[in-house]
A and B are shown apart, each in its own frame.
Chain A
Amino acid sequence: MIEYIGRRILQIVPVLLGVSIVVFFMVRAIPGDPAQILLGQQATQEQVQLLRAHMGLDKPVLVQYVVFLRDAMTGDLGNSIVTGRPVITELLARFPATLELTASAMLLAILVGVPVGVISAVRQYSILDKITSVLALTGISMPIFWLAMVLILIFGVKLELLPFPGRLSSGASIQAFTGLVLVDSLLTGNFGAFWDGFTHLIMPALALGTIPMAVITRTTRSSMLEVMGEDYVRTARAKGVIPWRVVFKHALRNAMLPIVTVIGLQVGLLMGGAIVTETIFSWPGIGQIAYDSINSRDYAMIQGVVLYGALLFVLVNLLVDILYAVLDPRVRY
């Protein structure tokens, strides 16, 4: 096990190097002086000279790359041209909002997707199964920013059921410990704020969670169908195990592997989804700064979002692979 995990960690090193090379060349491939690009048009000649010296633009490319890599590993990716603050500070300040949103979306997707997928598989070809299949396919066919806007239109404007935009009603504030509204409000016993934060979270989480929910449903269904035909499931049935126990204990456990894989891969899609969801709901997370920095050509910021986004994605999928080995003793290579 330890050996497998070690080998798997070693395998991501070349991938991460590849990612860093792409991000490194991203700014250098744009026509013009990289220092000028990173600082924006308003920068003074002096600032540009200073950054040129810091980036070592007169040195060979290989040296520049090593310097970039060293800085990136210590969290130094320069300053945002919009706020002037270090990129890493901005990203960390906004991380809790994004974490709260994406985790809720994922949780919602798993809590709905897995049971619905299981039921569809158990009742294959039933009306319920057919409706679920079409709904799941519809879920992955909608542009997420459109879904977000339609949710606002229906639940926010027409029915006035759910509040938006942002994480809390304007004027409301809570003491921040973790930066997660739901956790902080509970820690301080502020249940009014908890409810406020919770209702603000529903629409964005639903918008962001729909695609993973659809994908998890489809994967669970097909994985369960495959497993339900196996001998050990028939054996369990034959020896008189109660039906729901067969489904959840014998079948679902063995059907989990593809589902876990798909959940890991969905994390990458959630990042793209978070950019538009946060923009539409004015959710003050990393997605929102990603959108703003794309529109203001804040390349230092874009670099930071892409680099740490890819890093997070690689790490999550590493975790999935390790979980794989824990779940399935047969996985050893």
Chain B
Amino acid sequence: MAEAQIQQEAVVPSGVKTRSRREDFRRVFFSNRLALFGTAVMGIFILMAIFAPLIAPYGPLQQDLASEFAPPSRAHLMGQDELGRDILSRVIYGARISLTAGLAAVGIATIVGTLIGMLAGYFGGWADSLLMRLMDIVLAFPSILLAIVIVSILGPSLPNAMLAIGIVFVPQIARVVRSAVISVRERDYIEAERALGAGNAQIIFSGVLPNSMAPLIVQATLTLGTAILDVAYLSFLGLGARAPTPEWGAMLTDAFRSGFGVFVTGQHAIIFPGIAIALTVLSINFIGDGLRDALDPRSRR
């Protein structure tokens, strides 16, 4: 904030065209075709999630046992699954669950990670050592094993899977925020705030945090893609969403567990939910890469 004001008030020699940070960001981000593609696809998925009951041609749980693994047809564009449910409808409803689960996990990781990274980076000293050693222990686990341990303790369910994945990602966010805070901490405008008599809390929230945002946004976006994959992964292990929830990972799991027949007659039950996951995560990764290029001038090509 402080910086933006200073920029606006700075005297610009006539004839020199200046660009604000925001314009700069827009110019770079929107000239990246892959990032635009990602944004468009995510937009569609988000609309699908919000308006699922209006778009879906059938109920996500509506069974038709006579049509087990019926192939795609005009009435069922993506065909039917092992219980004769309409796969398209389940993919549409699945967007709700998978996106919410991913967002919840990243939300937990971002809030806790930002807090820890902020405290460690701003105060330094023993607080920094203690918090970061704690993060090292979490990082010492292969992340997916740690998520398995946490869900085993809490009991298998989708909310617990989100919580576990959130916890696993805390150290990455904390590290990114910590290093951003350390680089911002010693800037002149922070010094100026301190000289004006601002307390620690005020400096952190009005000075340090807003100026540490860029790397955090990039990291959180890229983490969202991984989180959606990990939710699906835990569902596959039977530790996340359970049947008959139309979560994309659980749909693949149920199809796989229905027996070998799925490979012979039920290919569409494997292909479509998987494409939904891969397309979502790929789009998020495109957006993340685009954000990094646009927000971090050093990584610009």
**Real binding pair:** yes
Quick one: which of A251-300 are within 8 Å of B by CB? 267-269, 271-272, 275-276, 280, 290-291, 294-295, 299
**Complex: how many Å from CA A291 to CA B257?**
13
Tell me whether A19 and B140 are in contact (CB under 8 A): yes
Stretch of A80-88, A187-195, A201-209, A305-313 lying at the B interface = A305-313
A41 at the interface (CB under 8 A from B): no
Chain B contacts of A329 at CB under 8 A?
none
Tell me whether B233 and A145 are in contact (CB under 8 A): yes
What per-residue 1/0 map shows which CB atoms of A14-48 lie under 8 Å from chain B? 11101100110010011000000000000000000
Question: What is the minimal beta-carbon distance from A50 to any residue of chain B, in angstroms?
Answer: 24
Q: How many residues of B are counted as interface, with CB atoms below 8 angstroms from the partner's CB atoms?
A: 41
Stretch of A57-65, A107-115, A148-156 lying at the B interface = A148-156
Chain B contacts of A137 at CB under 8 A?
282, 285-286, 289
Tell me whether B237 and A150 are in contact (CB under 8 A): no
Chain A contacts of B141 at CB under 8 A?
19, 22, 268, 306, 310, 313
Partner of A269, one of B144, B152, B153, B263: B144
Tell me whether B282 and A276 are in contact (CB under 8 A): no
B220 at the interface (CB under 8 A from A): no
Which chain B residue lies CB-closest to A211? B229
> Quick one: which of A142, A302, A305 has the most chain B CB within 10 A?
A142
B67 at the interface (CB under 8 A from A): no
A49 at the interface (CB under 8 A from B): no
**Complex: how many Å from CA A138 to CA B249?**
17
12 pairs from A and B in contact (CB 8 Å cutoff): A18-B137, A137-B282, A137-B286, A137-B289, A145-B236, A149-B256, A150-B274, A275-B237, A290-B148, A294-B238, A309-B145, A310-B145
Q: A22-B146, A143-B229, A276-B237 provided; 9 other pairs, C-beta below 8 A?
A: A18-B140, A137-B286, A146-B273, A149-B274, A269-B142, A269-B144, A272-B145, A299-B152, A302-B152
6 closest A-B pairs by beta carbon, nearest first, are: A272-B144, A268-B142, A18-B137, A146-B274, A141-B281, A141-B282
Which A residues are closer than 8 A to B by beta carbons?
14-16, 18-19, 22-23, 26, 29-30, 134, 137-138, 140-146, 149-150, 152-153, 156-157, 267-269, 271-272, 275-276, 280, 290-291, 294-295, 299, 302, 305-306, 309-310, 313-314
